[in-house]
Structure 1
Amino acid sequence: MALDDPKTLVSTDWLEAHLRDPDLRILDGSWFLPTMEGDAKASYDAAHIPGARFFDIDEISDSRSSLPHMAPPVEKFVSRMRAMGVGDGHQVVVYDQMGIFSAPRVWWTFRLMGKTDIAVLDGGLPKWIAEGRETEDLPPMMRDRHMTVQRQANLVKDVTQVAHASKLGDYEIIDARAHGRFIGVDPEPRPGLRQGHIPGSKNVPYTELLHADGTMKTPEELRATFAAAGVDLAKPAITTCGSGVNAAMLALALEVAGNHDWAVYDGAWAEWGMYNDLKVATGEA
């Protein structure tokens, strides 16, 4: 049962009921890991929820960084959203083609920019299609819309801040990668990275946040999932993963579970795993 909270998660029923609202904007935020097959933009072009615009996570990013899809500068985000007709006064709903996978990254990017009227579609496009709801292959009509943003620096952490948190233990550092990657027995999908995890971090694989149908667990179930991994929800949290996408899924889950004091480590393992002077832990905690 979805929360139908337009600031976190909304159900397919909610979206269908609001589909023709003039101030609703729908985004397809699909993105695939390097090891996955598929072309997110081509799939969007073939079939998307009516009126949806495609949010390209790799393109709407910081092109000055050598790390994958780091958060975009404010100016770039604003210019891309204006061109897509997304601006002030809009309720945004973002979905992806896998259920809930990359859409939370778009949700977090909006939150980082101070925009809170955004929700992830619970169950995403697979649930929408499975329920026989409408799709189209037409590009949406887009008119420029003014957008004002105020970047929320507290929602993102850099490598220095994460290294301090790892040393001091004053944050719960939560890693969304699969357990085999976390303990260092399975290879990383990006070449050249060390294997293992940030010392002191806890492992909550992103798949454990979801029901079998691809919808997110209830707040009570999420709290139990975090507790089972040894996460103290009373402490502030830093979320991480391979490249910052599933870290945002943990952030969304924390928000739904009632912990509002969280930040995403944007560089994630793509950064931490690259530098030999940063300590790496392996094996079980």
Structure 2
Amino acid sequence: MTLTERRKPDTVDLRVVPVEQVLDRIEGALQVSLDRHAVVHKRCSVGAPTDRDTWVRIERRPLAKIGVQGWNGTECAARLVGVAQPVWLGCVVWQDADEPVMWRADETGLLPGAPVGAAVLSEDPRLPDEWWGALNASLDALASQGTLRIATPDTVTVTQPFVTKSIRSVFPGDFDTTVERWVPAHADLNWANMTAPTFGLFDWEDWGKAPLGLDSASLWASSLAVPGLADRVRRERRRDFDSRDGKLMTLFVCSKILGPYAHPEDPRLAPARDMAKRVIEELKRRC
């Protein structure tokens, strides 16, 4: 199979589809050489180090999933103040000649460390207090800034109807799901998008305004297979979790774990179910 063959634009897996021609084009446009022996393939993106000690991340996205705000999240995140992230250096963007998709390659500085782990951890990474302090500083700085962007986790725009539908699909009840505060969020906060031992936050493609507490709840959900780690996330981000919006975002992430695509052997099922029950009771008491 080649990239020019006709197929549904959202079914391509870049882990199995050849991308040599794409890499050639990027090298010419950015005037850089990619280390072809160190290319990292993911389903929707590819990354590689360069000969000038930088990193290039390449993403393929169907036109139908590029909203009115575009898909320049990494570029727009460069103006954020007080957030630990790789420096953004430049990009190249083009529309595919054969399919209704676009390609984008962003060049950034190298990460300050290795990713903490997979998106969902099964072991405690035993991060030092300094790391947690840097995480808190970055998340607090991010939430305090302004943007017109709307968060699009998994390329889905976060709106009030979407939040309500997601929660109600798993947790019907007589509690209010109206979000009170919308603040800038990374919107894909998990252990695969942060570095250690030096803290850094990367993959900013879908950041934007989201309900207060989305990032904290997402990180907690990624930690549920390690109870002590999940508890640490809740302690560190207590202000978010104690807020009404933070409780709604806890239900929002639990709905993803407990929804129709839940895996029966997912170790997060029981703790997510227990927490959801507790949060719903708290929300009802506030009504």
Query: Structure 1-normalised TM-score?
Result: 0.31
Q: Which has the higher helix share?
A: 2
**TM-score using structure 2 length:** 0.31
Larger-Rg structure: 2
Structure with more relative contact order (C-alpha pairs < 8 Å, separation 6 or more): 1
